[in-house]
Amino acid sequence: MIDSSTMQKPKISVDSLNFFYGKSQALFKISMAMEAQQVTAFIGPSGCGKSTFLRTLNRMNDTIDRTYIEGTVMIDDQNIYAPDVDVVHLRKRVGMVFQKSNPFPKSIFENVAFGPRIHGIRNKSDLYSIVEKSLEQAGLWNEVKDRLNNNALGLSGGQQQRLCIARALAVGPEVLLMDEPASALDPRSTARIEDLIGDLKKNFTIIIVTHNMQQAARVSDYTAFFFEGELIEFGETKQIFTMPKQKKTEDYITGRFG
C-alpha cells in the first residue's frame, strides 16, 4: 500500500502505529513515510484521526492523560518514542501550527521571541534578527515591522495565524505540522497561507491536515487519506486525486461522504 521506496529520503517514517485514548483506539496500524522538503496532506472525514496522528509526530498527545502508543515514529532515523528522547528537543525540531490561531497575549515581538528565549537565546540583537527572519519567512514582516511592540491580539485573524507560523519557525524546526491552519480564515487569508506553504517547503518538511480537498490538491505533494483511524490510501497527490486506487478514497474525494 505504501510505496516509500520511491522517496528520496523519508524525513519521517511511521511504522505500525496504534494509538489509544484510554481504552478506545483512535489509530490502527498506521505505516507511512513523509519526505523531506515536501508537503504531505492528511485528509479524511471528521473524527477519522488526522489530528491525533499529526499530534503523535511531536508527541503533543503526551499532554493528554491516559493515552498510549504502540509502534515507532522515526525522524531522521531516531525513534521519537524511545525512552531517552527529550521531548523539549523534539518539539524544537518539529513545530506545530494550530487550527485556531493562538498568539500569546504579548507583543508581536515577544510572541516570536518566546521560543528562542526559552531555548536560551538572550542576546537582544540575536533575538531581533531571529524575529525579523521568522516574520519574513511567514510573510508578515512588512505588515508589522513598525508595530512590533503592539499586542498580537490586535492583528487580524489571518495575520495572527501567520504570526503563529512565524513563532513556530523562530525555534528553527525541521518539520512543520499544521492542523487545518486556514480553516478559520477568509479566502484571501487562506490564499496567503497556501502561498506561504509553497514557499516554506523549500526549507521545511510540511505536514498539513485539511478538510478542504482543493486545498490539499493545491498545496501538497503527497496525500494520505484516513478513515476511521486507518490509513486507507497514501500516494502522490496527483495520483490520489485523479486515480485513487481505493473505492473509499474515490467516494470521499468525489464528495459522496464526509
Partner 1 sequence: MKFFKKANFRLNEFLAEKAIAAIATTSLVFIFLILIFVFRESIPLVLGYAMEEDNKLSLTALFSNNWIPVSNHPQFGIWPLIIGSIKVTAISLIIAFPIAVLAALYTATLASKRTKEIVKPVIEILAGFPSVVIGFFALMVLATFFQNVFNLRFRLNAFTGGVALSLAVIPIIYTVTEEALNTLPKTMTEASLALGATRWETSLYVLLPAATQGIFAAFLLGLGRSFGETMIVLMATGNAALSSTNIFESVRTMSAAIGAEMAEVVFGDAHYNVLFFIGVLLFIFSFTLNAIAEFFLKQRMMKKFQGGA
Q: Which residues bind Mg ion (CB under 5 A)?
A: 51
Q: Distance between CA 239 and CA 247 in Å, rounded?
A: 14
Among 29, 92, 211, 248, binds partner 1 (CB under 8 A): 92
153 binds partner 1 (CB under 8 A): yes
Size of the site for partner 1 (CB under 8 A): 28
Residue 46 as a binder of ligand ATP (CB under 6 A): the answer is: yes
Read off the C-alpha cell for 77. 532515523
**Residue (111 or 223) nearer to partner 1, CB:** 111
Identify what 48 binds: Mg ion, ligand ATP, partner 1, none; CB under 5 to 8 Å per kind. ligand ATP
174 is written with which cell numbers?
525541521
Measure the CA–CA gap between 18 and 203, rounded to whole angstroms: 30
| Residue 95 makes contact with partner 1 by CB under 8 A | yes
φ/ψ (deg, to 5) at 67: -110, 145
d(CA 203, CA 199): 8
- The contact pattern for ligand ATP, residues 52-81, with x = CB under 6 A and - = no contact, is x-----------x-----------------
Q: How many CB atoms lie within 10 A of CB 235?
A: 20
Q: Minimum Å distance from CB 17 to ligand ATP?
A: 13
Distance, CA of 206 to CA of 41 (rounded, Å) = 8
Query: Binding of partner 1 at residue 256 (CB under 8 A)?
Result: no
